[in-house]
A and B are shown apart, each in its own frame.
Chain A
Amino acid sequence: DVKVTQSSRYLVKRTGEKVFLECVQDMDHENMFWYRQDPGLGLRLIYFSYDVKMKEKGDIPEGYSVSREKKERFSLILESASTNQTSMYLCASSLKQLGGEKLFFGSGTQLSVL
């Protein structure tokens, strides 16, 4: 089975702090994603990476950056955390090939910014 592991289940940070959310997958997937999930707004794509050092903006990239130095690891960075970034953050991965885009999610990180 595919395993997508997020480093923290719960995280509490202060406004202005730099925050790193880490995600590791063990199935050699090319594609990795960061989503956030908010009540009433559903899941929204923040950033996507299709290869090492490659990234694409999703629907809501403002205030975030990402890093993919190794194929199995995809990091989400909040340069200066704000209260409106309090949310559930979900990492996911999939194969790149057509027909192989089945998406696998990690268990999520609930981030609270105070």
Chain B
Amino acid sequence: GIQVEQSPPDLILQEGANSTLRCNFSDSVNNLQWFHQNPWGQLINLFYIPSGTKQNGRLSATTVATERYSLLYISSSQTTDSGVYFCAVGSGGSNYKLTFGKGTLLTVNP
């Protein structure tokens, strides 16, 4: 199956800093999503982005499907951005079966 690798595994920032999280995948995909899991365990869907670029407030994401990677940008980070960020991918006719990466644990200090 598809392999998904996220980097870095851990990231510590001061409030106000910018960051880039990366997701590499081993095969072509037609479904790619980014999630944020807050400290209480709730998973929030940030982006559905199998290709191209999207922006939502301080967050933006870019997927370069031909080169098999996606990037999540967080600008002017806030303490509420803390948590684990997951990338998940799916492919072919079974693209609903997402394979999740291990996540990036982000800590934003005040």
Contacts and interface: CB of A to CB of B under 8 A. Distances in A.
A63 B86 CA distance: 27
Given A42-B103, A94-B96, A104 B86 contact: no
B43 A105 contact: yes
A11 interface: no
A92 B100 CA distance: 14
A113 interface: no
Nearest to B6: A42
Contacts, number: 48
Contact of A48 (B96, B100, B101): B96
A88 B37 CA distance: 13
Contacts of B41: 88, 107-108, 110
A104 B102 CA distance: 19
Contacts of A105: 35, 42-45
Given A43-B86, A101-B90, A103-B33, A31 B96 contact: yes
Given A31-B96, A42-B102, A104 B48 contact: no
Interface string A85-114: 000101010100000011111011010000
Given A102-B33, A103-B33, A43 B45 contact: no
Contacts of B40: 107
Chain B interface extent, by class: 20 to 34
Interface of A is mostly: strand
Contacts of B98: 45, 103
Given A103-B33, A103-B88, A107-B42, A42 B48 contact: no
Contacts of B42: 105, 107-108
A101 B95 contact: yes
